[in-house]
Structure 1
Amino acid sequence: MQFGLLIVAYMLATLLTRRLMPVIEKALTPKAEATHIVVRLRRFALQFLPLLLPLLAYALTAVGEGLTRAAFGSGEVIAFGKRIFLFLAALELVRRILPPGLLKLMGRYILLPVMALNALGVLDDVTAYLDAAQVNLGEIRFTALGLIRGVIAGALLFWLGSWSNRQSAGYIKAQPDLRPATRELAIKASEIAIFGAAFLLLMSIMGIDLTAVAVIGGALGVGIGLGLQQIAANFVSGIILLLEGQTTVGDYVELDGGEKGTIVKMTARACVLETFDGKWIVVPNEHFITSRVVNYSDQGSANRYEAEFSVTYETDINIVPDLIERAVSKLPFVLQSPEGPDCELRGFGESSVNFAVEYWVSGIDDGKNKYGSAVLFAIWNALKEAGIQMPYPHRIVELRNGAT
């Protein structure tokens, strides 16, 4: 009779699956262009449709087991069949649903063996044996079952933590109202909170006394702190940089050590500078706190530069400033605000009159934006058109007493 109930449950589950599958699939399938969070959840739920048949068979078999035990006080055969359907559901989950990687690996080598032991009815005996085997590490005690459970839970928790961290980081980066430094700090804070909670939860699952862990962690913290003071200093400096926001991603900076470039990444330990020729320079955060830092920009602010040139002493120097200012003003990248080009007389040299023209541009003359070269060309062309010569050194050699 129990075998008959198993067959009836499977046939009824097959019939219900054929009827329900198109309805559920139609209800859960969203429009292709939709991207709302509810739509993503519906697409996620669609992946589990292959489990419909074994889970329906399991549920119907469970109902049959309850009726059989209530009527006859026996139901071992139908209970075995129920566990078989649960094993088939786990098999479908591993084969067709779990993505390649850690989850599929755990499903294949952990979930399926556990479901097989459960189907054979020996899972409780194996669990009791592992729970009786105790492992001692000083003041920390845990069972073999706790260790296995911890490995499984740890892998799942940290996989889930990595996924949650990616989701939270993507959400924070998408907030346009936050400054880049604030976004980086929020991302780091969420990462620490997620993995810290995962670690504490793992310790609780493994049954480890957190008091003993705190004592050992304190001792290790003192030792690590003495040996890794520089890393700790860089970490604290990184937090200060992110909180202050005076130096952030996108700024062009120059340090006392000569390193200069655009900040493309800020981490807990260091900042990454990209030079105009594409090289990356990793600068520890401590250097931004303890040394002088020249910040040339704040996401595209105006900067002033100057170009020096000279003319001969035969030149009417009174016409030079207006001539050069007009020539430089015609360049498309030169700004008229906060101030237009300003040509100044700098001094009288050995064989030349020295000038310099100051000009403002929006950006950094870092090699990619070659403002200086274009300005010098404009100065040269303007002087040539006006017939003004640039000097070169002259030397007078005297020959005395007819000596050669």
Structure 2
Amino acid sequence: MQGQPAFVTKAIAALNEAWELAASWLTSPAAWSQFTLLVASWLLARLAAKRLAPQLARMIGPKPGATGAIATSRRFVLRFLPLLPLLAYGFTAVGEAFTRQVFGSGAVIAFGKRVFLLLAARIFVRDMLRDPFLRLLGRYVLIPVMAVYALGLLPTIAVWLESLTVELGNIRFSVMALARGAIAGSLLFWLGAWSNRQSTGYIKAQGALRPATRELAMKATELAIFGAAFLLLMSIMGIDLTAIAVLGGALGVGIGLGLQQIAANFVSGIILLIEGQTTVGDYVELDGGEKGTIVRMTARACILETFDGRWIVVPNEHFVTTRVVNYSDQGSANRYEVAFSVSYDTDINLVPGIIAPAVAALPFVLAAPEGPDVELRGFGESGVDFAVEYWVNGIDDGRNKYASQVLYAVWNALKAAAIEIPFPHRVVKTRVV
């Protein structure tokens, strides 16, 4: 036994003590009576669970197809029905007072109650947890901890882990604090991710809010949830929050030296969400030539979708520091024009009366704020230059092809009126010497 670590020595002593206790239980009438009580409690609990489960399912369960908060709450409560065998814990507690009064001992019952909790933990992990991460955590953390607790070794192991320390600079952690922080951190950030998904779905369903307001609310909620989870985790690990000042200072230096662009894009994203002048669904064109419909706004960049289905990732800073042309606000009217020419032999006074009605007859051309307008633009080398301006409710981004259909209408109208569309002419003179 000499030279062994203190934990090993204590563990061996605890096992020897447990063996002696078990041997004494085998010859003790009080222990056998308590064993009998435990078995009877378990069998009674199983019988009660078998009888009560169907009745409780009918009473608590919502109607098929029911929706809403109450129906969801009822379905959540139904998930706890597999824990009905835990009634054995309550039945045992009722008989424990009697055995202690008669025999003056209840050690076997105390051990049995811990075993019942271990069985409940196993049922909880096997039958109730549906999320893969939570089931993994329950299988490899909850059940082993409950097994150690059932054996009565949990306090000894906890003291030993508390005595082991890890130092990171001026900060000292115990292994127990690290283990507690890892478990609590996993649960907190899983809960944070779940809460963020729920809140995001709720905010997206609020159609009365502007898209920019929804995006800002989702980002603010996400930041608040995970910020609170981080602070709570620091408190659980026993870390003085003033120690975070060192990390904050290092982060500030990092931002100042190497993360200026990331910080600038993050702040620019917040400005875009607050102002709402550019939001999801807008068709924009930047000075750099990027243009497309904004399909997503993140903390770092905006994602534009071009008419051919390609995505362009544009940093948020470009929307704040450069000129941005916003062609739409989710379906606003826009004006376009197409150019055409007629022969010099044409009576140009007739052209507006021919082209304007032909373009106005197209189903996508709007009468307000202004109908089609035919303008004389100049006298070219080969013909007289005109342009027709028209308004449409949308963007001519390649999918709608408004200009193409307008040109078809112009061509057909001119051909129907026997008006010649000119093409370049060249006169060649030959001098004979």
Q: TM-score range by the shorter chain?
A: over 0.9
Amino acid at match of 1:24: L
The residue number in structure 2 matching 1:201 is: 232
The residue correspondences of 1:258-337 to structure 2 (distance < 5 A) are 258-337=289-368
Amino acid at match of 1:275: T
Q: 133-142 or 286-295, which moves further after superposition?
A: 133-142
Structure 2 regions of 5+ residues with no counterpart?
1-32
Structure 1 regions of 5+ residues with no counterpart?
none
The residue number in structure 2 matching 1:21 is: 53
Structure 1 CA distance, aligned partners of 2:82 and 2:178? 33
Q: CA deviation at 1:135?
A: 2.2
Structure 2 CA distance, aligned partners of 1:64 and 1:122? 25
Q: CA deviation at 1:18?
A: 2.5
Structure 2 CA distance, aligned partners of 1:133 and 1:68? 41
Structure 1 CA distance, aligned partners of 2:237 and 2:63? 44
Amino acid at match of 1:15: L
Q: CA deviation at 1:131?
A: 1.5
Q: CA deviation at 1:100?
A: 4.5
* Preserved contact between residue 293 and residue 306 of structure 2 (Cα < 8 Å): yes
* Preserved contact between residue 35 and residue 108 of structure 2 (Cα < 8 Å): yes
TM, length-normalised to structure 2: 0.90
Structure 2 CA distance, aligned partners of 1:192 and 1:2? 54
* Preserved contact between residue 255 and residue 263 of structure 2 (Cα < 8 Å): no
Q: How many residues align?
A: 401
* Preserved contact between residue 64 and residue 78 of structure 1 (Cα < 8 Å): no
The residue correspondences of 1:3-402 to structure 2 (distance < 5 A) are 3-53=35-85, 55-401=86-432
Q: CA deviation at 1:71?
A: 4.2
User: What's the secondary structure of 1:334's corresponding residue?
Assistant: coil
TM, length-normalised to structure 1: 0.97
Amino acid at match of 1:355: F
Structure 2 CA distance, aligned partners of 1:267 and 1:291? 19
Q: 349-358 or 132-141, which moves further after superposition?
A: 132-141
Q: CA deviation at 1:385?
A: 0.6
Structure 1 CA distance, aligned partners of 2:89 and 2:167? 41
The residue number in structure 1 matching 2:19 is: none
User: What's the secondary structure of 1:213's corresponding residue?
Assistant: helix
Structure 2 CA distance, aligned partners of 1:235 and 1:29? 47
User: What's the secondary structure of 2:369's corresponding residue?
Assistant: coil
User: What's the secondary structure of 1:335's corresponding residue?
Assistant: coil
Structure 2 CA distance, aligned partners of 1:395 and 1:62? 111
Amino acid at match of 1:249: V
